[in-house]
Structure 1
Amino acid sequence: MSEKSKDQLCRGSVSDSYMAQQSDSYKSWYAAGAVVLLAAVYTWLLHEFGWFTCVLLAPTPDEITWSNSNWQEIEEGSLFILSAYEDRRFQPHYVRIMGMESLGPAQQTKDQPVNVSAIEEHELTCVLWYDNGKRDVVAAERRTMHKQRTIYDGSITYMAYLYSCPIPAARETPPSRVSLTFDVCERITNVVNVTSYGPSKKLHDPDQERDSAAGRTAPPSDKIALCLKPLNFPTKDIALRLAEWIEIQRLQGVDVIFTYVYDVTDTAMVVLRQYQQRNIVDFVIAMLPDRLPGNGKAREKFLRRTSMQLQLTEKVVLNDCFYRHLAYDYVSVIDLDEVIVPRQHHTLTEMLDNLRDVTVTVPKNAGVADGGGESQLAPPCASYCFRQSMFLDEFHQQDHDDIPEYLHVMQHTNRSMYVLTKNELSVKSLCSTRGVIVLGNHGPYQVATGYKDRCYVNRKMALLHHYRNSCNIIHNIQRSSECNKTKSDTIQEDNMIWKYLDPVRQRVEQMAFDCWQSRENSA
């Protein structure tokens, strides 16, 4: 073979080898590109449609497991959810779910036994469902609805939780429904509607509008919602007491009142429905979750017993009320025997306008009275707290002849001059919807970064009037001591509430007539 032939053969071999290598390289690039493309497509499908390697379908109505008409059940009674709300106050936006978890056996710690959730170690997942068929799967964040992470009480079988589901920033519209699950590949048996974060609407109150037009009151600048503690009065008729309390709140500038109703008399229910028709009160017929008493004497006994379990159950419905009214400026949790009374203003809204411009005494701790703490500007306050003064039945000497006997608050004007200051449970609060994350009976439990949790309002500006039969039913040692001081201090007439007397008397009388007429027409 000639040298030229050998050279051509050598070149051909090298060329073939080079081409083969190039082909293998291109194949590798093609394969890598295909993998990247498939990953991108999968990620897009995952984001847009919630595609997984397992079937992920929203449950049909027949597939939902209900504990009762209020609560849905997850994992054979380990978790119960009540409601869900959109929260657009922070970034990211959230869906907040109200729920309760069953407890496992109590575990011993260094100090005492504590209750631990039966699902404490499990990770919860939120599935956010959208009207356009898309879905998101995100990790659920859990927050307890009480200050201490662990509480021991022999009566506790369920703990209250707030579950937060972050909404992906790319979503332009909020989800319409949400589910909680431990495993997205398992059949989901719960789904609750997400109540959207909508604008609040001022109630149409012709009396207030007429007064404002006449220059007698300044138009309110804040919107206030009251969460009335759940009602359980199966035999005691609170109809007129309830009407008086509602009318006082209206005159103070409150926009809406919401409550859960366990059991009330027929007359009280007529009053509630009358106010509901006027868009002044809204309420939900309440049920307890799972094995807690469902109705009858057993439930009545449970609700009347002062236990930690009852308080934890109430925290779920009170936070439900708070998140229902996020579009309002302030939300307050208050009882039927309590009224926050401004002493330098006619309405709560006028008082709030002034609170932003003055300094208030903020105790270094809850056990310090006025003047014992440091003065600072009120904002940014997550809540304004009002100290309590007792108007006990035993202080009431005789009726005021010119005031109807059924106006309990207006009749009871004698109070102890002692103002309860030694316990943070001796206050009620107006809580800012801008700063509170978890609400308690007396004030916020968890607040957003940058907010002071409680600002105590000077007693000269406002007091919480507490109208009780007795204060001896409180067995806590510290609170019993406060009760003794209440009884031993000077008893003096305080008729500050009478600034609402005339319109309250007229409105309650009209409500009584309307209720009577309503019952006559339905008979």
Structure 2
Amino acid sequence: MPQLKLGSTRGCCCQIFRRGSAQTLRRTHWLAGLLFACICLTLAGFLNTEFLGSITTVPPFGLEKTFNTIHTADNDLDTPGAFLRSPPQTIVAYSLERQVEMEQREQIVCNNLLGMRPMSSQIHRINAYWQSPPHSGLHLFSAHYDARLDNYHYVRIISMVEGHRNASIYCQIWYDREVLVLEALRLDIWASQWDSNASIDSDNPVMFSCPVPRNISIDTVKRERFPLGVSVTMKPCESPRTFLPIHTPQISSSESRRDFAVCVKGLDFQRRDMSVRIAEWLELNLILGADKFFVYVYSVHPNLKRVLEYYSSIGVLEVIPLSLPGKQPNRPRQRSRYLKTNLWQKRRDELVPYNDCYYRNLYSHRFVLPVDVDEVIVPVKTSTWNAMFQELFSENPNLLDKYSSFSVRNAYFFDDFPVTDQSDVPKYHHILRHTTRSANFSPGLESVKSFVSTDGALTVFNHYTLRILRPSTARNLVLDINVAQMNHYRATCSSDTVPGCHNNFLKYKKRDALVLRYANQLVRRLVAVLKNLYLV
């Protein structure tokens, strides 16, 4: 809907007032009514006006220009890499309260459900990792308890829905001695304009939220009233055929939380041996400040499986098995072909592990970083992520109150670019030997990756916060390239970015040895791991 400009409506009202002063008395009532309407329109225009504040314009293509400051962006959402418009940050004092009050649902009494919590044999499973109410087209992956808003708690269910089904669904939240039944709220984790040619049968990522009444919410002090799990049904009191254990938060003070959880979407390297590449990537991220990795896995080469098991054994990595829902294929070779040839469905599927990972870490980490295994966020002025944020927050202590995620711009390190051979860097190092990048950074928010605050997002996607938790918070802030950059180690341009990628990234290149500051430490750590696993 077009925005009503404040200046034009104010001018309209003034013009009518001047005209009205010259009219006869018999038109007074008509003018008064019209004036009242203009006042209402002016107020409406004010409420819908976007207050852009201080925004730095993204430079055009060509040789890269450097921003002087960190900046926000405010463009319409056109592609998964474009920005969702930040909400107006005025008149929000009541917005959160009003929003959550509107989301509350009356509890439904279902006496027939007492003692009817489904046993494992009664659960309707699509495959090992997905459940579904029969004949519903609804596929359930995981459930999480969200107690971030005082007095307003939710059970969040990460799901996929076949096509455009939009029927009401109900949550049956199970406690030791009772069951709580409510209608669920639906929030799509996808924007329709990302894929305007989508099939009506596409599986779409959705988060269902079950608002828990205040008198039943978890007592975070006494740690009482933790729900056991949730069933999803199409009618409120019907016998459940699903049961998702709820990932119950280990609620603790913010001081005891770790800093950075790294989320990796489904790995599908059944034939290709990525063991050394990913071991190097893991070690570099540990040096930079990663506390723990959450790696979702379809199927991987035996050597890579050994690498993942090793890092899991030392407590810095958790493997979460993953499959595709619904009618999508799950035989490994067929699934690999399917994911390569169905790009938009693949992108939809990726949002399930990303949002599951985000909610797994609400209370254990301050930030979640959804990133691919060919991407590394490297601080420029500091040497670790922690030091980078300490410097940012020392300059502006209120950044976390203003922004839900902190985005880092993308620079390509293509395989075709010159490789640097150094006598003290073994040839199995990919990252340390690729020190030539595109001279241009990707423009604006294209291909950024972000540190997402676990206090600020409602849903996430590959690049930054998708939906915010609190209306007063902007979705993201893009860090200056003098603060951090994202090194993207790709083979070549992706098929959907040619020829623009060739003209703007392959054409211009420059040496970038920033990562070599970690060379001694990374070489020493990686060779120890590879020898331990008999991979060198």
Same fold at TM > 0.5? yes
Does the 8 A contact of 2:260 with 2:289 survive in 1?
A: yes
Does the 8 A contact of 2:292 with 2:316 survive in 1?
A: yes
Does the 8 A contact of 1:96 with 1:165 survive in 2?
A: yes
Which of 322, 327, 331 lines up with 2:368 in the alignment? 331
Does the 8 A contact of 1:220 with 1:350 survive in 2?
A: no
Encode CA deviations 1:293-320: one digit per residue, 9 max, x unaligned: 1113210101223521111111011100
Cα separation, 2, equivalents of 1:151 and 1:378: 32
> Which range moved further: 399-408 or 337-346?
399-408
Equivalent residue for 2:145? Answer: 86
Does the 8 A contact of 2:190 with 2:204 survive in 1?
A: no
Shift of 1:357: 3.3
Equivalent residue for 1:68? Answer: 127
Cα separation, 1, equivalents of 2:482 and 2:342: 32
Cα separation, 2, equivalents of 1:487 and 1:415: 9
Distance change in 2, residues 1:51/1:139 (3 Å): closer
Cα separation, 1, equivalents of 2:121 and 2:348: 30
Equivalent residue for 2:503? Answer: 484
Number of residue pairs matched by the alignment: 419
Does the 8 A contact of 1:232 with 1:303 survive in 2?
A: no
1:331 maps to a residue whose letter is V
- The share of aligned pairs that are identical, in percent, is 27
Encode CA deviations 1:318-374: one digit per residue, 9 max, x unaligned: 1001111111100011001100000111110111111223379xxxxxxxxxxxxxx
RMSD across aligned positions (CA): 2.6
SS in 2 for 1:67: strand
Does the 8 A contact of 1:222 with 1:349 survive in 2?
A: no
Cα separation, 2, equivalents of 1:271 and 1:413: 25
Does the 8 A contact of 1:229 with 1:336 survive in 2?
A: no
Distance change in 2, residues 1:77/1:310 (3 Å): farther
Does the 8 A contact of 2:377 with 2:486 survive in 1?
A: yes
Which of 386, 408, 414 lines up with 1:392 in the alignment? 414
Does the 8 A contact of 2:378 with 2:484 survive in 1?
A: yes
Which of 102, 111, 117 lines up with 1:58 in the alignment? 117
Q: Which structure 2 residue ranges, 5 or more long, are not aligned? A: 1-105, 220-224
Encode CA deviations 1:181-227: one digit per residue, 9 max, x unaligned: 1113322100110011115899xxxxxxxxxxxxxxxx999611000
Q: Aligned pair 1:139/2:183, yes or no? A: yes
Equivalent residue for 2:481? Answer: 459
1:413 maps to a residue whose letter is T
Q: Aligned pair 1:187/2:239, yes or no? A: yes
Cα separation, 2, equivalents of 1:270 and 1:52: 49
Q: Aligned pair 1:500/2:518, yes or no? A: yes
1:311-460 aligned within 5 A: 311-327=347-363, 328-358=365-395, 379-422=401-444, 424-448=445-469, 449-460=471-482
Cα separation, 2, equivalents of 1:397 and 1:58: 60
SS in 2 for 1:465: strand
Shift of 1:397: 4.0
SS in 2 for 1:321: helix
SS in 1 for 2:394: coil
1:52 maps to a residue whose letter is C
SS in 1 for 2:402: coil
Which of 297, 301, 323 lines up with 1:265 in the alignment? 301
Shift of 1:75: 2.9
Structure-1-length-normalised TM-score: 0.75
1:85 maps to a residue whose letter is H
Which of 246, 267, 283 lines up with 1:231 in the alignment? 267
SS in 2 for 1:410: coil
Encode CA deviations 1:402-438: one digit per residue, 9 max, x unaligned: 211111001100112211114x332000000110110
Does the 8 A contact of 1:355 with 1:378 survive in 2?
A: no
Q: Aligned pair 1:166/2:211, yes or no? A: yes
SS in 2 for 1:289: coil
Which of 246, 255, 266 lines up with 2:282 in the alignment? 246
Does the 8 A contact of 2:145 with 2:155 survive in 1?
A: yes
Larger Rg: 1
Structure-2-length-normalised TM-score: 0.74
SS in 2 for 1:228: strand
Does the 8 A contact of 2:400 with 2:453 survive in 1?
A: no
SS in 2 for 1:81: strand
Cα separation, 2, equivalents of 1:83 and 1:59: 16
1:286-297 aligned within 5 A: 286-297=322-333
Shift of 1:124: 1.1
Does the 8 A contact of 2:404 with 2:456 survive in 1?
A: yes
Equivalent residue for 1:305? Answer: 341
Q: Which structure 1 residue ranges, 5 or more long, are not aligned? A: 1-45, 104-116, 203-218, 361-375
